[in-house]
Amino acid sequence: MQSNQKAHSASDSFRELLDSLSTEQRCNQELLSSLGFALRSFTNLHRFLELVPVVASRLVGVEGALLVPFQADGRLWREQIQALPFDQNQELLRQIASLEGGLSIGFGSDPTQLVDLDRLVQRHMSKANIFATSLVARGKQRGRLYVFDTQGAVSLSEVHRRHLQLVADLAGVAIENDQTLQEIRRHESVDRQLSIGAEIQAQLLPDRCPEIEGVQLAARCRPAFQVGGDYYDFMSTRPELIGKTREKGRWALVIGDVMGKGVPAGLLMTMLRGMLRAEVLSGLPPDRILHDLNQLAQVDLEHSHRFITLFYSDFDPCTRRLRYANAAHNPPLLWRAEQRSISRLDAPGLLIGLQFDANYGCGSITLEPGDVLLYYTDGVTEAPGIAGDRFDEPRLIKSLEESCRNGLGAQEILNKLFARLDHFVGIDHQLEDDASMVLLKVNDELTLPIIE
Protein backbone atom coordinates (compact mmCIF):
# COMPACT_ATOMS: atom_id res chain seq x y z
CA MET A 1 0.00 0.00 0.00
CA GLN A 2 2.78 2.41 0.96
CA SER A 3 4.64 1.53 -2.23
CA ASN A 4 1.58 2.47 -4.31
CA GLN A 5 1.22 5.76 -2.44
CA LYS A 6 4.87 6.63 -3.05
CA ALA A 7 4.55 5.79 -6.72
CA HIS A 8 1.40 7.90 -6.96
CA SER A 9 3.16 10.82 -5.19
CA ALA A 10 6.16 10.59 -7.51
CA SER A 11 3.84 10.53 -10.52
CA ASP A 12 2.02 13.67 -9.29
CA SER A 13 5.31 15.47 -8.70
CA PHE A 14 6.56 14.58 -12.15
CA ARG A 15 3.29 15.76 -13.72
CA GLU A 16 3.50 19.07 -11.79
CA LEU A 17 7.08 19.54 -13.01
CA LEU A 18 6.02 18.98 -16.63
CA ASP A 19 3.11 21.42 -16.21
CA SER A 20 5.47 24.03 -14.75
CA LEU A 21 7.93 23.62 -17.63
CA SER A 22 5.10 23.88 -20.17
CA THR A 23 3.82 27.06 -18.54
CA GLU A 24 7.30 28.62 -18.54
CA GLN A 25 7.82 27.66 -22.18
CA ARG A 26 4.46 29.13 -23.16
CA CYS A 27 5.18 32.39 -21.31
CA ASN A 28 8.58 32.69 -22.97
CA GLN A 29 7.05 32.12 -26.39
CA GLU A 30 4.46 34.83 -25.72
CA LEU A 31 7.15 37.29 -24.62
CA LEU A 32 9.25 36.66 -27.73
CA SER A 33 6.19 36.85 -29.97
CA SER A 34 5.17 40.16 -28.40
CA LEU A 35 8.63 41.59 -29.00
CA GLY A 36 8.50 40.38 -32.60
CA PHE A 37 5.09 42.00 -33.11
CA ALA A 38 6.41 45.25 -31.62
CA LEU A 39 9.38 45.18 -34.00
CA ARG A 40 7.08 44.89 -37.00
CA SER A 41 4.75 47.70 -35.91
CA PHE A 42 6.76 50.23 -33.89
CA THR A 43 7.48 53.75 -35.15
CA ASN A 44 9.27 54.97 -32.03
CA LEU A 45 12.61 53.24 -31.47
CA HIS A 46 12.88 54.47 -27.88
CA ARG A 47 9.55 52.89 -26.99
CA PHE A 48 10.64 49.55 -28.51
CA LEU A 49 14.04 49.56 -26.79
CA GLU A 50 12.32 50.13 -23.44
CA LEU A 51 10.73 46.70 -23.88
CA VAL A 52 14.04 44.90 -24.46
CA PRO A 53 15.35 44.83 -20.83
CA VAL A 54 11.87 43.89 -19.58
CA VAL A 55 11.58 40.93 -21.95
CA ALA A 56 15.22 39.85 -21.46
CA SER A 57 15.00 39.77 -17.66
CA ARG A 58 11.67 37.92 -17.66
CA LEU A 59 12.88 35.29 -20.11
CA VAL A 60 15.67 34.13 -17.80
CA GLY A 61 14.08 35.05 -14.46
CA VAL A 62 16.62 37.62 -13.24
CA GLU A 63 16.06 40.95 -11.52
CA GLY A 64 17.66 43.31 -14.02
CA ALA A 65 18.88 43.99 -17.54
CA LEU A 66 20.86 46.69 -19.31
CA LEU A 67 20.80 47.69 -22.98
CA VAL A 68 23.63 49.86 -24.37
CA PRO A 69 22.98 50.67 -28.07
CA PHE A 70 25.39 52.27 -30.56
CA GLN A 71 24.67 54.88 -33.20
CA ALA A 72 25.23 54.30 -36.92
CA ASP A 73 28.81 55.60 -36.67
CA GLY A 74 29.59 53.41 -33.67
CA ARG A 75 29.29 56.04 -30.95
CA LEU A 76 27.45 55.30 -27.70
CA TRP A 77 23.79 56.17 -28.15
CA ARG A 78 23.45 57.73 -24.72
CA GLU A 79 19.83 58.86 -25.14
CA GLN A 80 18.71 55.30 -25.86
CA ILE A 81 20.45 53.43 -23.02
CA GLN A 82 17.86 51.39 -21.10
CA ALA A 83 18.10 49.76 -17.67
CA LEU A 84 15.84 47.69 -15.42
CA PRO A 85 15.27 48.51 -12.62
CA PHE A 86 15.81 52.12 -13.72
CA ASP A 87 15.92 53.84 -10.32
CA GLN A 88 18.58 51.52 -8.91
CA ASN A 89 20.94 51.94 -11.85
CA GLN A 90 21.11 55.71 -12.21
CA GLU A 91 24.80 55.87 -11.27
CA LEU A 92 25.71 53.11 -13.72
CA LEU A 93 23.85 54.90 -16.53
CA ARG A 94 25.69 58.11 -15.67
CA GLN A 95 29.07 56.35 -15.79
CA ILE A 96 28.31 54.71 -19.13
CA ALA A 97 27.13 58.00 -20.63
CA SER A 98 30.39 59.67 -19.54
CA LEU A 99 32.63 56.76 -20.59
CA GLU A 100 35.84 57.99 -22.15
CA GLY A 101 35.82 57.27 -25.84
CA GLY A 102 32.07 56.70 -25.93
CA LEU A 103 31.59 59.73 -28.16
CA SER A 104 34.33 58.64 -30.54
CA ILE A 105 33.33 57.37 -33.97
CA GLY A 106 33.88 53.60 -34.18
CA PHE A 107 33.59 53.00 -30.42
CA GLY A 108 31.20 50.07 -30.92
CA SER A 109 33.45 48.31 -33.44
CA ASP A 110 36.60 48.53 -31.29
CA PRO A 111 37.07 45.31 -29.26
CA THR A 112 39.23 47.13 -26.71
CA GLN A 113 36.52 49.71 -26.08
CA LEU A 114 33.90 46.98 -25.70
CA VAL A 115 36.06 45.24 -23.09
CA ASP A 116 36.28 48.55 -21.21
CA LEU A 117 32.51 48.85 -21.34
CA ASP A 118 32.05 45.31 -19.98
CA ARG A 119 34.55 45.97 -17.19
CA LEU A 120 32.76 49.18 -16.21
CA VAL A 121 29.48 47.29 -15.85
CA GLN A 122 31.19 44.49 -13.90
CA ARG A 123 32.92 46.96 -11.53
CA HIS A 124 29.67 48.74 -10.79
CA MET A 125 27.94 45.43 -10.07
CA SER A 126 30.77 43.73 -8.24
CA LYS A 127 28.34 41.59 -6.23
CA ALA A 128 26.13 40.67 -9.17
CA ASN A 129 26.36 37.82 -11.63
CA ILE A 130 26.29 39.13 -15.19
CA PHE A 131 25.75 37.64 -18.63
CA ALA A 132 26.45 39.78 -21.71
CA THR A 133 25.90 39.44 -25.45
CA SER A 134 26.16 41.67 -28.52
CA LEU A 135 23.51 43.23 -30.73
CA VAL A 136 24.56 42.53 -34.32
CA ALA A 137 22.74 43.46 -37.53
CA ARG A 138 24.14 43.04 -41.03
CA GLY A 139 27.50 42.11 -39.52
CA LYS A 140 27.80 45.36 -37.57
CA GLN A 141 27.89 45.87 -33.80
CA ARG A 142 24.74 47.72 -32.73
CA GLY A 143 25.12 47.47 -28.95
CA ARG A 144 25.50 45.27 -25.87
CA LEU A 145 22.82 43.52 -23.80
CA TYR A 146 23.45 42.51 -20.17
CA VAL A 147 21.31 40.53 -17.72
CA PHE A 148 22.24 40.40 -14.04
CA ASP A 149 21.10 39.34 -10.60
CA THR A 150 22.48 40.43 -7.23
CA GLN A 151 20.61 37.69 -5.36
CA GLY A 152 22.09 34.61 -6.93
CA ALA A 153 24.17 33.14 -9.73
CA VAL A 154 23.05 33.74 -13.30
CA SER A 155 23.08 30.12 -14.45
CA LEU A 156 21.72 30.12 -17.96
CA SER A 157 20.69 27.04 -19.89
CA GLU A 158 21.39 26.77 -23.60
CA VAL A 159 17.72 27.63 -24.24
CA HIS A 160 18.05 30.77 -22.12
CA ARG A 161 21.17 31.81 -24.03
CA ARG A 162 19.41 31.32 -27.37
CA HIS A 163 16.43 33.33 -26.16
CA LEU A 164 18.65 36.21 -25.00
CA GLN A 165 20.53 36.17 -28.29
CA LEU A 166 17.22 36.32 -30.13
CA VAL A 167 16.20 39.36 -28.07
CA ALA A 168 19.58 40.97 -28.83
CA ASP A 169 19.20 40.20 -32.55
CA LEU A 170 15.70 41.74 -32.61
CA ALA A 171 17.04 44.84 -30.88
CA GLY A 172 19.88 45.03 -33.41
CA VAL A 173 17.41 44.79 -36.28
CA ALA A 174 15.25 47.51 -34.68
CA ILE A 175 18.23 49.86 -34.49
CA GLU A 176 19.26 49.02 -38.04
CA ASN A 177 15.72 49.61 -39.30
CA ASP A 178 15.46 52.93 -37.51
CA GLN A 179 18.77 54.15 -38.89
CA THR A 180 17.75 53.06 -42.39
CA LEU A 181 14.44 54.86 -41.99
CA GLN A 182 16.18 58.04 -40.89
CA GLU A 183 18.41 57.83 -43.96
CA ILE A 184 15.39 57.40 -46.23
CA ARG A 185 13.69 60.38 -44.61
CA ARG A 186 16.69 62.54 -45.40
CA HIS A 187 16.32 61.76 -49.10
CA GLU A 188 12.56 61.52 -49.53
CA SER A 189 9.74 63.88 -48.67
CA VAL A 190 6.90 62.53 -46.59
CA ASP A 191 3.68 61.90 -48.55
CA ARG A 192 0.63 63.90 -47.63
CA GLN A 193 -1.70 61.80 -45.49
CA LEU A 194 -4.82 60.30 -46.94
CA SER A 195 -7.85 62.49 -46.34
CA ILE A 196 -9.87 59.59 -44.94
CA GLY A 197 -7.23 58.99 -42.29
CA ALA A 198 -7.28 62.65 -41.31
CA GLU A 199 -11.07 62.52 -40.97
CA ILE A 200 -10.89 59.45 -38.74
CA GLN A 201 -8.43 61.10 -36.41
CA ALA A 202 -10.31 64.40 -36.34
CA GLN A 203 -13.45 62.58 -35.23
CA LEU A 204 -11.60 61.02 -32.31
CA LEU A 205 -10.61 64.30 -30.70
CA PRO A 206 -13.06 66.55 -28.82
CA ASP A 207 -13.90 69.75 -30.68
CA ARG A 208 -13.78 71.68 -27.39
CA CYS A 209 -12.89 71.16 -23.74
CA PRO A 210 -15.71 70.64 -21.23
CA GLU A 211 -16.51 72.95 -18.32
CA ILE A 212 -15.30 71.40 -15.06
CA GLU A 213 -15.79 73.34 -11.85
CA GLY A 214 -12.65 74.89 -10.40
CA VAL A 215 -10.27 74.11 -13.26
CA GLN A 216 -9.29 75.37 -16.70
CA LEU A 217 -8.73 72.96 -19.59
CA ALA A 218 -6.90 73.40 -22.90
CA ALA A 219 -6.02 70.80 -25.54
CA ARG A 220 -4.58 70.62 -29.04
CA CYS A 221 -3.20 68.10 -31.53
CA ARG A 222 -0.63 69.30 -34.05
CA PRO A 223 -0.89 66.73 -36.88
CA ALA A 224 2.05 65.54 -38.96
CA PHE A 225 1.75 64.76 -42.68
CA GLN A 226 0.84 61.20 -41.83
CA VAL A 227 -2.04 60.46 -39.54
CA GLY A 228 -0.80 59.04 -36.27
CA GLY A 229 -2.57 57.27 -33.47
CA ASP A 230 -2.77 60.19 -31.02
CA TYR A 231 -5.91 60.32 -28.91
CA TYR A 232 -7.16 62.36 -25.98
CA ASP A 233 -10.63 62.64 -24.48
CA PHE A 234 -12.72 64.04 -21.64
CA MET A 235 -15.58 61.89 -20.38
CA SER A 236 -18.13 62.51 -17.66
CA THR A 237 -18.56 59.44 -15.48
CA ARG A 238 -22.20 60.54 -15.04
CA PRO A 239 -23.31 61.53 -18.54
CA GLU A 240 -26.95 61.77 -17.43
CA LEU A 241 -26.10 64.91 -15.40
CA ILE A 242 -26.53 68.31 -17.01
CA GLY A 243 -25.50 71.92 -16.37
CA LYS A 244 -23.72 72.85 -13.15
CA THR A 245 -24.32 69.42 -11.66
CA ARG A 246 -22.37 67.87 -14.54
CA GLU A 247 -19.51 70.33 -14.02
CA LYS A 248 -19.23 69.23 -10.37
CA GLY A 249 -19.23 65.52 -11.21
CA ARG A 250 -16.25 63.23 -11.69
CA TRP A 251 -14.52 63.44 -15.08
CA ALA A 252 -12.17 61.05 -16.84
CA LEU A 253 -9.19 62.58 -18.66
CA VAL A 254 -7.25 60.27 -20.96
CA ILE A 255 -4.45 60.48 -23.51
CA GLY A 256 -3.00 57.68 -25.62
CA ASP A 257 -1.08 56.71 -28.73
CA VAL A 258 -1.20 53.69 -31.05
CA MET A 259 2.18 52.29 -32.04
CA GLY A 260 1.89 52.85 -35.78
CA LYS A 261 0.58 55.40 -38.23
CA GLY A 262 -1.93 55.79 -40.99
CA VAL A 263 -5.51 54.64 -41.31
CA PRO A 264 -5.02 51.34 -39.35
CA ALA A 265 -3.80 53.28 -36.32
CA GLY A 266 -6.76 55.64 -36.55
CA LEU A 267 -9.20 52.75 -36.81
CA LEU A 268 -7.70 51.01 -33.79
CA MET A 269 -7.95 54.15 -31.74
CA THR A 270 -11.56 54.52 -32.79
CA MET A 271 -12.19 50.99 -31.52
CA LEU A 272 -10.39 51.72 -28.25
CA ARG A 273 -12.31 54.95 -27.78
CA GLY A 274 -15.62 53.09 -27.90
CA MET A 275 -14.43 50.43 -25.46
CA LEU A 276 -13.03 53.05 -23.08
CA ARG A 277 -16.19 55.16 -23.06
CA ALA A 278 -18.17 52.07 -22.06
CA GLU A 279 -15.67 51.23 -19.31
CA VAL A 280 -15.83 54.75 -17.86
CA LEU A 281 -19.53 54.26 -17.07
CA SER A 282 -18.63 51.35 -14.79
CA GLY A 283 -17.26 53.73 -12.18
CA LEU A 284 -14.26 51.46 -11.55
CA PRO A 285 -10.89 52.93 -10.44
CA PRO A 286 -8.30 53.68 -13.17
CA ASP A 287 -6.22 50.54 -12.68
CA ARG A 288 -9.27 48.29 -13.09
CA ILE A 289 -10.38 50.19 -16.17
CA LEU A 290 -6.99 49.69 -17.84
CA HIS A 291 -6.96 46.03 -16.80
CA ASP A 292 -10.39 45.41 -18.32
CA LEU A 293 -9.65 47.50 -21.40
CA ASN A 294 -6.46 45.52 -22.03
CA GLN A 295 -8.37 42.24 -21.93
CA LEU A 296 -11.19 43.52 -24.13
CA ALA A 297 -8.80 44.85 -26.79
CA GLN A 298 -6.39 41.90 -26.70
CA VAL A 299 -7.77 39.94 -29.65
CA ASP A 300 -8.09 42.92 -31.99
CA LEU A 301 -4.64 44.26 -31.13
CA GLU A 302 -3.07 40.82 -31.44
CA HIS A 303 -4.35 40.48 -34.99
CA SER A 304 -3.18 43.99 -35.88
CA HIS A 305 0.30 43.45 -34.34
CA ARG A 306 0.05 46.87 -32.73
CA PHE A 307 0.07 48.12 -29.14
CA ILE A 308 -1.31 51.17 -27.38
CA THR A 309 0.09 53.44 -24.70
CA LEU A 310 -2.56 55.05 -22.53
CA PHE A 311 -2.65 57.28 -19.46
CA TYR A 312 -6.04 57.22 -17.76
CA SER A 313 -7.07 59.52 -14.91
CA ASP A 314 -10.27 60.69 -13.23
CA PHE A 315 -10.77 63.98 -11.40
CA ASP A 316 -13.28 64.87 -8.70
CA PRO A 317 -13.87 68.67 -8.59
CA CYS A 318 -15.40 68.44 -5.12
CA THR A 319 -12.22 67.09 -3.52
CA ARG A 320 -9.71 67.98 -6.27
CA ARG A 321 -8.61 64.34 -6.04
CA LEU A 322 -7.01 62.90 -9.18
CA ARG A 323 -6.63 59.12 -9.53
CA TYR A 324 -4.54 57.69 -12.34
CA ALA A 325 -3.09 54.58 -13.98
CA ASN A 326 -0.58 54.27 -16.80
CA ALA A 327 -0.17 51.78 -19.63
CA ALA A 328 3.42 52.72 -20.54
CA HIS A 329 2.50 56.23 -21.77
CA ASN A 330 4.67 59.32 -21.25
CA PRO A 331 4.08 60.32 -17.59
CA PRO A 332 2.26 63.67 -17.35
CA LEU A 333 4.13 66.59 -15.80
CA LEU A 334 2.78 68.18 -12.61
CA TRP A 335 3.62 71.76 -11.61
CA ARG A 336 3.08 72.29 -7.90
CA ALA A 337 2.35 76.00 -7.39
CA GLU A 338 3.26 76.03 -3.71
CA GLN A 339 6.58 74.21 -4.12
CA ARG A 340 7.18 75.86 -7.54
CA SER A 341 8.57 72.61 -8.92
CA ILE A 342 7.69 69.96 -11.51
CA SER A 343 7.39 66.20 -11.00
CA ARG A 344 6.05 63.26 -13.05
CA LEU A 345 2.87 61.30 -12.46
CA ASP A 346 3.50 57.66 -13.17
CA ALA A 347 2.30 54.19 -12.21
CA PRO A 348 3.50 50.73 -13.30
CA GLY A 349 1.81 49.06 -16.24
CA LEU A 350 2.45 47.38 -19.61
CA LEU A 351 1.28 48.51 -23.04
CA ILE A 352 -2.35 47.78 -23.90
CA GLY A 353 -2.31 44.59 -25.96
CA LEU A 354 1.10 43.31 -24.86
CA GLN A 355 0.04 40.73 -22.27
CA PHE A 356 -3.45 39.44 -21.53
CA ASP A 357 -3.16 39.20 -17.75
CA ALA A 358 -1.29 42.50 -17.26
CA ASN A 359 -1.93 44.35 -14.01
CA TYR A 360 -1.77 48.11 -13.51
CA GLY A 361 -0.87 50.27 -10.55
CA CYS A 362 -3.07 53.10 -9.32
CA GLY A 363 -1.90 56.42 -7.89
CA SER A 364 -3.74 59.44 -6.52
CA ILE A 365 -2.97 63.03 -5.62
CA THR A 366 -4.86 66.10 -4.41
CA LEU A 367 -4.40 69.08 -6.68
CA GLU A 368 -4.00 72.49 -5.04
CA PRO A 369 -4.84 76.02 -6.28
CA GLY A 370 -2.49 77.04 -9.09
CA ASP A 371 -1.31 73.49 -9.84
CA VAL A 372 -0.88 72.62 -13.51
CA LEU A 373 -0.99 69.14 -15.07
CA LEU A 374 0.33 68.54 -18.60
CA TYR A 375 -0.54 65.37 -20.54
CA TYR A 376 1.36 64.86 -23.80
CA THR A 377 2.26 62.31 -26.47
CA ASP A 378 5.77 61.35 -27.56
CA GLY A 379 5.31 63.32 -30.77
CA VAL A 380 6.15 66.36 -28.61
CA THR A 381 9.37 65.15 -27.02
CA GLU A 382 10.49 63.22 -30.11
CA ALA A 383 10.00 66.20 -32.45
CA PRO A 384 13.24 66.74 -34.45
CA GLY A 385 14.92 70.14 -34.40
CA ILE A 386 16.75 71.95 -37.16
CA ALA A 387 20.09 70.74 -35.76
CA GLY A 388 18.95 67.09 -35.75
CA ASP A 389 18.39 66.73 -31.99
CA ARG A 390 15.04 66.08 -30.33
CA PHE A 391 12.81 68.46 -28.36
CA ASP A 392 13.04 65.97 -25.45
CA GLU A 393 11.50 66.06 -21.99
CA PRO A 394 13.98 68.48 -20.32
CA ARG A 395 13.09 71.19 -22.86
CA LEU A 396 9.38 70.55 -22.30
CA ILE A 397 9.84 70.76 -18.52
CA LYS A 398 11.77 74.02 -18.82
CA SER A 399 9.14 75.55 -21.11
CA LEU A 400 6.31 74.46 -18.81
CA GLU A 401 8.09 75.78 -15.73
CA GLU A 402 8.66 79.22 -17.31
CA SER A 403 4.99 79.55 -18.26
CA CYS A 404 3.73 78.37 -14.87
CA ARG A 405 6.00 80.77 -12.99
CA ASN A 406 4.46 83.63 -14.96
CA GLY A 407 0.99 82.71 -13.71
CA LEU A 408 -0.54 82.19 -17.15
CA GLY A 409 -3.92 80.54 -17.74
CA ALA A 410 -4.33 77.07 -19.22
CA GLN A 411 -4.83 78.17 -22.84
CA GLU A 412 -1.99 80.69 -22.62
CA ILE A 413 0.39 78.04 -21.27
CA LEU A 414 -0.61 75.63 -24.04
CA ASN A 415 -0.06 78.35 -26.67
CA LYS A 416 3.40 79.05 -25.25
CA LEU A 417 4.36 75.37 -25.33
CA PHE A 418 3.32 74.93 -28.94
CA ALA A 419 5.06 78.17 -29.91
CA ARG A 420 8.27 76.87 -28.33
CA LEU A 421 7.86 73.53 -30.13
CA ASP A 422 7.24 75.22 -33.49
CA HIS A 423 10.29 77.43 -33.03
CA PHE A 424 12.43 74.38 -32.23
CA VAL A 425 11.21 72.36 -35.21
CA GLY A 426 11.43 75.31 -37.60
CA ILE A 427 8.74 77.11 -39.56
CA ASP A 428 9.50 75.27 -42.80
CA HIS A 429 9.80 71.82 -41.23
CA GLN A 430 7.04 69.29 -40.66
CA LEU A 431 6.60 67.10 -37.61
CA GLU A 432 7.38 63.39 -38.06
CA ASP A 433 4.58 62.39 -35.70
CA ASP A 434 1.47 64.00 -34.28
CA ALA A 435 2.13 66.16 -31.22
CA SER A 436 -0.73 66.35 -28.71
CA MET A 437 -0.94 68.17 -25.39
CA VAL A 438 -3.73 68.48 -22.82
CA LEU A 439 -3.37 70.94 -19.97
CA LEU A 440 -5.36 71.19 -16.74
CA LYS A 441 -4.90 74.12 -14.36
CA VAL A 442 -6.57 74.47 -10.98
CA ASN A 443 -7.91 77.98 -10.51
CA ASP A 444 -5.57 80.11 -8.42
CA GLU A 445 -8.33 81.16 -6.03
CA LEU A 446 -10.55 78.25 -5.30
CA THR A 447 -13.10 77.60 -2.61
CA LEU A 448 -14.19 74.01 -2.28
CA PRO A 449 -17.94 73.55 -2.72
CA ILE A 450 -19.94 72.52 0.33
CA ILE A 451 -21.04 68.91 0.07
CA GLU A 452 -24.51 68.58 1.52
Residue among 452, 423, 442 nearest 213 (CA): 442
**HSE-CB of 434 using CA atoms within 13 angstroms:** 30
- Angle of CA points 321, 325, 331, to nearest 5°: 95
Cβ burial, residue 7 (10 Å; 0-12/13-18/19+): exposed
Q: What's the pLDDT tens digit per position in 140-196?
A: 899 999 998 877 666 778 888 888 888 888 889 888 888 888 777 665 544 444 555
pLDDT at 192: 46
Helix (H, G, I), strand (E, B) or coil at 384: strand
The 8-class DSSP code of residue 184 comes to H
Nearest to 119 by CA among 108, 130, 135: 130
pLDDT at 193: 46
Q: What pLDDT score does 304 carry?
A: 66
What's residue 436's pLDDT?
A: 93
Question: What is the chain's length?
Answer: 452
What's the pLDDT score for residue 9? 56
Rg (CA), the chain: 24
For the chain, which residues score pLDDT lower than 70?
1-25, 28, 38, 40-43, 152-154, 185-204, 225-228, 260-266, 304, 446-452
Distance (Å, whole) CA 143 – CA 395 = 27
Q: What is the dihedral of CA 294, 40, 271, 190, to 10 degrees?
A: 140
Can you list the domains of the chain with their CATH numbers?
A: 2-187 (3.30.450.40), 196-442 (3.60.40.10)
Distances (CA, A) of 281 to 38, 72, 314: 31, 49, 12
CB 417 within 8 A of CB 393: no
Q: Do 92 and 84 form a contact (C-beta atoms < 8 A)?
A: no
Residue 129 is predicted with a pLDDT of: 80
